[in-house]
């Protein structure tokens, strides 16, 4: 039996399908969340004309 925090899930550490399913189970919890991205706009050195 797999529990949410259980060891069985941790054992499936390197498996694309399992990882995908784990994220899919989060369902609507993801709806209001924007993804983490590293893009950070830089300020221009001079104001644009």
Which positions touch other proteins (CB under 8 A)?
Answer: 4-5, 7, 9-16, 18-20, 22-24, 26, 29-30, 33-38, 40, 42
Give Cα 44 distance to the centre of its chain: 31
Q: How far apart are CA 15 and CA 21, in angstroms?
A: 10
Nearest distance from C-beta of residue 1 to other proteins, angstroms: 15
Nearest distance from C-beta of residue 25 to other proteins, angstroms: 8
Cβ proximity to other proteins: between 1 and 33 the closer is 33
Of 19, 32, 34, 35, which is closest to residue 9 (Cα–Cα)? Answer: 19
């Amino acid at each position: 039996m797999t529990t949410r925090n259980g060891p069985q899930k941790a054992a499936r550490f390197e498996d694309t399908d399992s990882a995908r399913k784990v994220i899919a189970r989060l369902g609507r919890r993801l709806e209001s969340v924007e993804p983490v991205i590293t893009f950070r706009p830089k300020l221009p050195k001079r104001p644009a004309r």
